[in-house]
Chains A and B, each alone.
Chain A
């Protein structure tokens, strides 16, 4: 069953779509996601992030298209054993104690690592005899993550894992997650709205908007290629001719643009600075049809040059 890319890809989808009644929650989604990365899945509400994660986790069947995880269908038991999934509401059984949750994890998962799950919870001072229903939001998230990591997945899917956590709990959650990634090389797909908090954690970004894939690329490639420019409006056309404009705001005195640069900008009339991941994502999100060049593996059918 293993295709040639099985060794390097975690998730591969081809024209994946999911329809609810007459509404498409996800459409024409084609992705080839590499292994060994922490992949950020971003996009506005309703863009299809949760739908995509549920399909990859094997919880939802697509309406159209194909999906494979480690070269097999997600619902194949061989794939399921390797996929961890923490849903947005961090489902734990409220009447179970933390110890019960770990015991259940051990029963349900062939590769269960009880010792490291215990060590993680001990490190966070979470008492094992406490009922999950009485944990704080931060502790719930940490227990859910500890159970998911105890399974030793090769791919962990996290849907908005830190959305409701205070900054300290958020940081502890990410430290626990990333330390496990550093130790094991586990691949992660993590959806979130909190761009500023997570841009250091992601090294690959997938932007879904209007239920389609708008960007899918390593973050250092994105940061390397994009620039914020500010300069004279009279020279805006020259920039547009030489580079791709993602977003621009031009008045009679000034032109501000986020561009995907195709080379250096030498003209000293332009002040040039790197774009942050956050600026980049916001710019693409507010220009959902931005003409993205093929190098950024735009998938879908967005028309060119929609500034």
Chain B
């Protein structure tokens, strides 16, 4: 049975940690279609977290159509998750590397670059989260 682990130092909300762990397990093949996720009761009994946190994570995974809840039976993996294909991955890595050379040439250090990157990610994806 799949087991969740929490990282209390990560600063990532607990329900999101659960979602990310399932996604990661799907990406690398630890979880496959048909596998059952532990019940909320089992997760809670192990991690001592609020049951609604587990249910919220499972609802998110259901919305992404990665799992299905079968009433009376449990929650089951319904899809695998592929990462970006290698060519796409390589293309964007190369673009970012060119951008970084330009930034470095303009005198920016690693912390400047990280600040720019973090702000950009925040503006792009954290809209509404405020």
Contacts and interface: CB of A to CB of B under 8 A. Distances in A.
A264 B126 contact: yes
Contact of A175 (B6, B40, B48, B50): B48
Contact of A203 (B40, B41, B48, B52): B52
A77 interface: no
B48 A201 contact: yes
Interface stretch (A110-118, A134-142, A245-253, A265-273): A265-273
Given A179-B41, A274-B11, A201 B129 contact: no
B130 A261 contact: yes
B3 to A, nearest CB: 15
* Chain A residues touching B, majority SS: mixed
Interface string B20-57: 00000000000000000001110011111111111010
Q: Is the interface of B mostly helix, strand, loop or mixed?
A: helix
A174 interface: yes
Contacts of A152: none
Contacts, number: 68
A32 to B, nearest CB: 18
A96 B49 CA distance: 33
Interface string B43-75: 011111111111010000000000000000000
Contacts of B54: 182
Contacts of A182: 39-41, 44-45, 51, 54
B119 interface: yes
B122 interface: yes
Nearest to B56: A220
Interface in A222-275: 223-225, 227, 261-266, 268, 272-274
20 contacts: A36-B52, A38-B50, A178-B44, A178-B49, A178-B50, A178-B51, A179-B41, A182-B39, A200-B6, A200-B14, A201-B48, A203-B50, A203-B52, A227-B130, A264-B123, A264-B126, A268-B116, A272-B122, A273-B11, A274-B13
Interface of A: 36-38, 171, 174-175, 178-179, 181-183, 200-203, 220, 223-225, 227, 261-266, 268, 272-274
